[in-house]
Amino acid sequence: MRRLLAVAFFALSSAAFAQTPEQQAAIEQAERVGREIYEHDRAAWLGTDAIREDMGDDVGRILRGWITERQGNDVVATFVTSDGDRPRSLYRAVLRNGALVGRGQANAPLAVHQLALYRARQRALQSDFAACSPTYNTVALPSADGAFADIYLLPGTTDANLVLVGGAHRLRVNLATNEIVETQAFSRSCLTLQRGPGAAGLFFTHLTTPMPTETHVFLNLSMGLPLYVGAEQGVWSIEEGRIRLVRERAE
C-alpha cells in the first residue's frame, strides 16, 4: 500500500458555498450514515475488548463474528459462535453515548433477523472484493423496509498512525436470499496516509464520487482529525462528522 505524509496544516477559506437541494440531501445522508457506521463500529470494537477481558484471549477460537443493531439510543453488539452449523449468540455489549453500558455472556439462538444479518455479513466477507488490508471490520445497516442490508467492509489496522483511506466497500445484500445485489467501491486505490506528530489535518483526493462519502465521515470520527478532500467540485472539509465545501474548483 502506498503511504503518503499527512499535512500538518492545510490553509483553506473559511467561507461555505451554497449547494443545490440534491447536493445538500446527499451531504446530509453521508453525514447520517457515516455517524451510524462509526457508532456500530465502536460498539463492535469496545465489545471485542470486553469479551476478551471477560472470557480470555482464547475466546477467539470459538468466535465466528458479530452483528450490531440499533435499538433506540443504543447500539447492541452480539458476538456469534456456532453450535454445529447453527450460529448462536455468545456475548452481548451495549453502547450508549460512546461508552459501554452493558456487557455479558449470552447463550441463545440468533433471532430470525439477526441470523439474516449475520449471514449477509459472512456473504460479503467471502465475496471477491478488492482488499487493501489483511483484516476487515464490518458494519451491517438494514434498509428501512428490512428487505436488504448494506454491509460496509472497512479495512483495519493495529497501527494508530496509519489512516487507511482506500479499500472501503459497500455491498447490498438481499436478506431473504442472501444474494449480493449491488456493490460500491469507495476508492480506486489502497491509499494510506501516515498520521504525523502534531498533524492538524489530512488531505487527499477522491475520484469515485463528486463529493465525500459516508466512509470519509466514519474515518473523520474514528481518527478525531479533520479531513480535507479534493473532489470534482472543489475541496471539502470534514470536521466532527460535518461535511462542508470550503473551496470551489476554478473553472
Q: What is the pLDDT of residues 130-165, one digit of tens each?
A: 999 999 999 999 999 999 999 999 999 999 889 999
Q: Among the residues of the chain, which ranges form H helices?
A: 21-55, 112-125, 214-223
Q: What is the pTM of this model?
A: 0.90
Give the whole-angstrom CA distance, residue 232 versus residue 228.
13
Residues in Cβ contact with 221 at an 8 Å cutoff, skipping those fewer than 6 apart: 34, 35, 38, 240, 241
Cell of 159: 497501527
Do 235 and 228 contact (CB within 8 A), yes or no? Answer: yes
pLDDT band at 5 (very low <50, low <70, confident <90, very high): very low
Backbone φ, ψ for residue 61 (5° rounding) = -70, -25
pLDDT tens column, 20-48: 888 899 999 999 999 999 999 999 999 99
